[in-house]
Amino acid sequence: MRPLEATNRYFRQAVKILGIDSKLERSLLIPFREIKVECTIPKDDGTLQSFVGFRVQHDNSRGPMKGGIRYHPEVDPDEVNALAQLMTWKTAVAKLPYGGAKGGIGCNPRDLSIHELERLTRVFTQKIHDVIGVRTDIPAPDMGTNAQTMAWILDEYSKFHGYSPAVVTGKPLDLGGSVGREAATGRGVVYVTEALLADHGKSLSNQTFVIQGFGNVGHHTAQFLFEAKGRVKAVSDITGAIKNDAGLDIPALMKHARANGGVRGFPLGDPIDPSSILMEDCDVLIPAALGGVLNGENAKDVKARFIVEAANHPTEPEADEIFAKKGIIVLPDILANSGGVTVSYFEWVQNNQGFMWDEGKVNMELQRYITNAYRSVKESCKTHNCSLRMGAFTLGVHRVARATVLRGWEA
């Protein structure tokens, strides 16, 4: 099932639970604006190459729109639309004063030099600068982009609008970025996992964890679980998968991955088939890589007691139904991985105030926000007698619908 189809399915279930009428449902679903631009750049060899860029701005009823920009060969309007909609519900669940947006360029950043990436980013910014802004739409890094990409967007945007550090988040610290932002998604995953386990009389230190993905989110999640005495027994990335039932030495693994480009060959673990990692026996499974990895084919073989979705849309609806029958508790992505956008909000606040926080305050506020969001989702589950996923979707849709009605959407 394609991401947009799955997202719309959950949205319509939430609409039915809330009793929202068809006119308001349509208004909530249709994006505020969809942008498609051609970006032509000179390559280092003097030839010209064209790329297609997208920006979908889904909803601004609760504030400026917020969402990442990804550089990936498979970026397409359907995917960007689904992710923009998810950002609307995610920011509402986290109670951030934002709406949702998402963007991307169809390219393989590994095939482009640093100079070509800079030219592409600047051309893309030139094409969309008049529809993004500090009070309009605030991009951030995503797959294939990073703090340097945000620095280029900030510089190009500022040529048109004056110096505006709050126009993007996830920036380098020297340009107004926030301490704690790089690790925020992984740290948020651990905070909300801790809250989930506490509800079931468990703690991080007594549980086993398996993590699919060892990129930014996966390796920070593993690091913080290791520091909390959790036993991370298996991890995987694009190079392979490794396992140690006694618990992997995460600091040593991180050092190995940096030196060797991945986890393959780590001497303190045994290699396993990467395709089997989702079926490893563990207390908590954390998919932190691509979407759609848990589906109707493999869900029946999952042995975890809890699934915490650090990736976007890792679980297909068919797998959700199987997990519900098996009694596996799934903490949905729009709550579990909201740490990144939450600290992006903190960065935006700091930029607007011109007053920067220390890392202790950032992490304390992140824990407060994401724990409160978890409690709100639990209350929504009790009110509507539904799963955590539908509790989160129902909460997010309700908050956006309420803001839309209060602002006078039919006028």
Annotated binding residue at 243? no
- pLDDT-derived band of residue 333, with 50, 70 and 90 as boundaries? very high
Q: Average pLDDT for residues 337-348, to the nearest whole number? A: 97
E-strand ranges in 315-355 read: 329-331
- pLDDT-derived band of residue 6, with 50, 70 and 90 as boundaries? confident
Confidence (pLDDT) at 17: 97
Q: Average pLDDT for residues 88-99, to the nearest whole number? A: 98
Confidence (pLDDT) at 79: 83
Q: Which fold has domain 183-331?
A: Rossmann fold (3.40.50)
In single-letter form, the type of residue at position 257 comes to A
**Alpha-carbon span 111 to 347, nearest angstrom:** 31
**Alpha-carbon span 224 to 8, nearest angstrom:** 34
Annotated binding residue at 325? no
Is the pLDDT reported for residue 405 higher than 70? yes
Confidence (pLDDT) at 265: 96
Q: β-strand 33-42 against 48-57: which pairing, if any?
A: antiparallel
E-strand ranges in 3-150 read: 33-42, 48-57, 65-72, 99-106, 137-141
Is the pLDDT reported for residue 54 higher than 70? yes
Give the 3-state secondary structure of residue 54.
strand
Confidence (pLDDT) at 253: 97
Give the 3-state secondary structure of residue 170.
coil
Annotated binding residue at 344? yes
Q: Which of 32-46, 65-79, 128-142, 301-315 bottoms out in mean pLDDT, i.e. has the lowest?
A: 65-79
In single-letter form, the type of residue at position 162 comes to G
Q: Which residues pair with 38 in a beta bridge?
A: 52
Provide CATH code, domain 30-163: 3.40.50.10860
Annotated binding residue at 178? no
What's the mean per-residue pLDDT of the chain? 96
What are the domain boundaries of the chain?
30-163, 183-331
Q: Which residues pair with 235 in a beta bridge?
A: 211, 242
Cβ neighbors of 186 (< 8 A, separation 6 or more) are 216, 217, 218, 219, 220, 221, 222, 223, 224, 310, 339
Residues above pLDDT 70, as percent of the chain? 100
Residues above pLDDT 90, as percent of the chain? 93
Helices (H) and strands (E) in the chain, counts: 13, 12
Confidence (pLDDT) at 77: 86
Q: pTM of the predicted model, to two decimals? A: 0.95
Structure confidence by residue, pLDDT tens digits, 165-180: 999 999 999 999 999 9
Catalytic center residues: 102
Q: Average pLDDT for residues 321-350, to the nearest whole number? A: 97
Give the 3-state secondary structure of residue 195.
helix
Helix (H) or strand (E) holding 93: helix 77-93
Tokens of 283: 């207390």
Confidence (pLDDT) at 3: 78
Is the pLDDT reported for residue 2 higher than 80? no
Q: Average pLDDT for residues 277-304, to the nearest whole number? A: 95
Any idea which residue has 């998810």 for tokens?
86
- pLDDT-derived band of residue 5, with 50, 70 and 90 as boundaries? confident
| Fold equal for 30-163 and 183-331 | yes
- pLDDT-derived band of residue 411, with 50, 70 and 90 as boundaries? low
- pLDDT-derived band of residue 290, with 50, 70 and 90 as boundaries? confident
Annotated binding residue at 382? no
